[in-house]
Structure 1
Amino acid sequence: MVEKMNEDVHEMKVFSVGDVLKGKVTKVEDKQVFVDVGFKVDGIVPVSELSSLHVEKASDVVALDDELTLFVTKVTDDELILSKKEALAKEAWKRLAQSFERGEIIEAPVAEVVKGGLVVDVGVRGFIPASLVERHYVDDFSDYKGKTLRLKVVEMEQEKNKLILSQRAVLDEEMEEKKKDILKSLQPGDVVTGTVQRLTSFGAFVDVGGVDGLVHISQIAHERVESPRDVLSEGQTLQVKVLSVDPDSERVSLSIKETLAGPWEKVASTFQIGDVVTGTVKRLVSFGAFVEVAPGVEGLVHISQISHQHIGVPQEVLEEGQEVQVKVLDVNGAEKRISLSIREASNDQEDMSQFKAYEEKRTDDASGFSLGDMIGDQLKKYRDE
Structure 2
Amino acid sequence: MSENNVSNENAQTMADALNSVGQVKIGDTVKGEVLAIEDKQLIVGIEGTGVEGVVPLKELSAQPIEDIHTVASVGDVIDLVVISTIGKDKENGQYLLSKRRLEAQKIWKDIQADFEAGKTITAPVTNVVKGGLVVNAGVRGFVPASMVDDHFVEDLSAYKGQELEFKIIEIEPSENRLILSHRAIVEAGKAEARKEIFGKLNAGDVVDGKVARLTNFGAFVDLGGVDGLVHVSEIAYDHVDKPSDVLSVGQDVKVKVLSVDPEKDRISLSIKATLPQPWDDIEDRAPVGATLPGVVRRLTTFGAFVEVFPGVEGLVHISQISHEHIATPNDVLKEGQDVDVKVLSVDPDQHRLALSIKALQERPEGDEPSEPRKENQRPRRNNNSNRESHTNIPAEYQQDDSGFSLGDILGDALKDAAKDDNE
- TM more than 0.5: yes
Q: In structure 2, what residue type is equivalent to 1:198?
A: L
Asked if 1:267 is matched to 2:282, the reply is yes
Asked if 1:69 is matched to 2:83, the reply is no
Aligned counterpart for 1:157 among listed residues 155, 167, 172: 172
Partners of 1:54 and 1:300 lie apart in 2 by 74
Q: CA deviation at 1:128?
A: 3.9
Q: CA deviation at 1:118?
A: 4.4
Q: CA deviation at 1:276?
A: 5.0
Asked if 1:33 is matched to 2:43, the reply is yes
Aligned residue for 1:258, secondary structure, equals: helix
Q: In structure 2, what residue type is equivalent to 1:190?
A: D
**How many percent of aligned residue pairs carry the same amino acid?**
28
1:366 matched residue in structure 2: none
Asked if 1:92 is matched to 2:107, the reply is yes
Listed one character per residue, the Cα deviations across residues 56-109 of structure 1 (whole Å, up to 9, x for unaligned) are: 986453333444334466898984855434533433322221223344333456
Given that 1:107 and 1:149 are in contact with CA atoms closer than 8 Å, whether structure 2 keeps it comes out as yes
Asked if 1:227 is matched to 2:241, the reply is yes
Q: In structure 1, what residue type is equivalent to 2:172?
A: E
Partners of 2:158 and 2:243 lie apart in 1 by 31
Q: CA deviation at 1:133?
A: 10
Listed one character per residue, the Cα deviations across residues 87-144 of structure 1 (whole Å, up to 9, x for unaligned) are: 334333222212233443334567x76976646362xx41446848965524489x84
Structure 1, unaligned runs of 5 or more: 351-385
> Against the structure 1 CA distance between its residues 62 and 325, is the aligned structure 2 distance closer, same or farther, given a 3 Å change threshold?
closer
Q: CA deviation at 1:204?
A: 1.0
Structure 2, unaligned runs of 5 or more: 334-338, 364-423
Partners of 1:140 and 1:301 lie apart in 2 by 53
> Against the structure 1 CA distance between its residues 163 and 199, is the aligned structure 2 distance closer, same or farther, given a 3 Å change threshold?
closer
> Against the structure 1 CA distance between its residues 220 and 177, is the aligned structure 2 distance closer, same or farther, given a 3 Å change threshold?
same
Report the number of matched residues. 324
Given that 2:283 and 2:348 are in contact with CA atoms closer than 8 Å, whether structure 1 keeps it comes out as yes
Q: In structure 1, what residue type is equivalent to 2:215?
A: L
**RMSD, aligned α-carbons:** 5.1
Given that 1:194 and 1:240 are in contact with CA atoms closer than 8 Å, whether structure 2 keeps it comes out as no
> Against the structure 1 CA distance between its residues 197 and 56, is the aligned structure 2 distance closer, same or farther, given a 3 Å change threshold?
closer
2:221 matched residue in structure 1: 207
Listed one character per residue, the Cα deviations across residues 5-52 of structure 1 (whole Å, up to 9, x for unaligned) are: 99x98x99975645545x463423333332463x15265353265445
Asked if 1:126 is matched to 2:126, the reply is no
Aligned counterpart for 2:214 among listed residues 198, 219, 222: 198
Q: CA deviation at 1:274?
A: 4.0
Q: CA deviation at 1:244?
A: 1.7
> Against the structure 1 CA distance between its residues 230 and 70, is the aligned structure 2 distance closer, same or farther, given a 3 Å change threshold?
closer
Given that 2:256 and 2:274 are in contact with CA atoms closer than 8 Å, whether structure 1 keeps it comes out as yes
Matches within 5 A, 1:348-363: none
Given that 2:37 and 2:73 are in contact with CA atoms closer than 8 Å, whether structure 1 keeps it comes out as no
